[in-house]
Copies of this chain bind each other. A is one copy, B any other.
Amino acid sequence: MPIENVTTAELSLSISQVAERTGLTTHALRYYERVGLMLERIGRASSSHRRYSEADVRWVTFITKLRSTAMPISRVLEYVKLARRGEETIPERLELLLIHRVSVAAQLDEMATSLAAIDFKIATYQGRTPTE
């Protein structure tokens, strides 16, 4: 019954706890690790069970923000690889995020436009003349 994290007040979570906290499945978390999306190697308990640090959880959380704005995993991977190279790649990471930002804005815009079209249809179904 080895106790980890004696040094700092680092919590260390099991994979299922991280799954709960992030909304991903344990399968997805293992998959992310396999394809190289994690910033650092995920710690292991003596049993070889994964132990996630707070930083790991923050990173997974950030990844989900990128993913939920339709950044492909391949792009996230580029970003991770830059991040692993250290501070010197901040300009490149910044550029990557700024480019992505444009696409997110476009997505928001398209979705808002689509919503308007759907609302228009809803209004006609509700018998309200939508232009009225």
Contacts and interface: CB of A to CB of B under 8 A. Distances in A.
Nearest to A114: B65
Contacts of A126: 94
Nearest to A122: B97
B65 A94 contact: no
A118 B66 contact: yes
A28 interface: no
Contacts of A111: 68-69, 104, 107-108, 111
Number of copies: 2
A90 B98 CA distance: 44
Contacts of A122: 94, 97-98, 101
Contacts of A68: 110-111, 114
Contacts of A81: none
A100 B118 contact: yes
A68 B114 CA distance: 7
Contact of A69 (B69, B93, B94, B118): B118
